[in-house]
């Protein structure tokens, strides 16, 4: 009887841990890094199958976030800015490579991350909109390019944004 009870407890605890892992999407975690403001934009993850979307809900309209991604990420990663009217600036970096842009002009260059800024690499040829940024009602949606997601090891993306009509 005692062994059965121990087996039951272990099974329940294992099941509970599996449920927590599913709920937190441990292969991807996102959080606001704007801890100084109690009214910071809200950051969370939504899943659609294997794809993930970082949803940033506007409160201040200016902020930053950290997204930790498991190694060998093979899915799409989207960013949705909910209730943003005009994204004046958006930057994403993995600590080495970076892309910055806005709704207009679109992000057309991949740069290197130096001194907390995205610097253009030499004389690159212009590309199409690397972030595929578009307005969808009161939301702005974009997709993080695969070259920032394909590390074999866990990686951290840093995001920063400014809405033209921030508070």
pLDDT tens per residue, range 28-47? 999 999 989 999 999 999 99
Average of per-residue pLDDT values in the chain: 81
Tell me the sheet residues that pair with 91. Answer: 100, 160
pTM here? 0.78
Report the sign of the C-alpha dihedral through residues 73, 78, 82, 88, in that order. positive
What is the β-pairing status of strands 51-57 and 77-82? parallel
* Confidence tier at 127 by pLDDT (50, 70, 90): low
Q: Tokens 């974009």 label which residue? A: 142
DSSP 134-166: EEETTEEEEE--GGGT--SS-EEEEEEEEETT-
Q: Which residue has the higher pLDDT, 144 or 127?
A: 144
Q: What is the mean pLDDT of residues 10-23?
A: 38
């Amino acid at each position: 009887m005692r062994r059965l009870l121990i087996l039951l407890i272990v099974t329940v605890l294992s099941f509970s841990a599996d449920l927590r892992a599913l709920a937190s999407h441990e292969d991807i975690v996102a959080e606001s890094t704007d801890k100084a403001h109690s009214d910071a934009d809200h950051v969370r993850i939504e899943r659609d199958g294997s794809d993930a979307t970082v949803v940033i809900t506007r409160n201040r309209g200016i902020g930053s976030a950290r997204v930790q991604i498991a190694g060998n990420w093979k899915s799409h990663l989207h960013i949705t800015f909910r209730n943003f009217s005009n994204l004046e600036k958006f930057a994403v970096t993995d600590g080495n490579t970076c892309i910055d842009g806005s709704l207009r002009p679109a992000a057309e260059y991949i740069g290197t991350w130096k001194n907390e800024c995205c610097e253009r690499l030499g004389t690159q040829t212009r590309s199409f909109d690397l972030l595929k940024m578009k307005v969808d009602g009161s939301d702005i949606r974009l997709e993080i390019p695969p070259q920032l997601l394909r590390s074999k090891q866990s990686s951290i993306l840093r995001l920063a944004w400014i809405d033209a009509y921030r508070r």
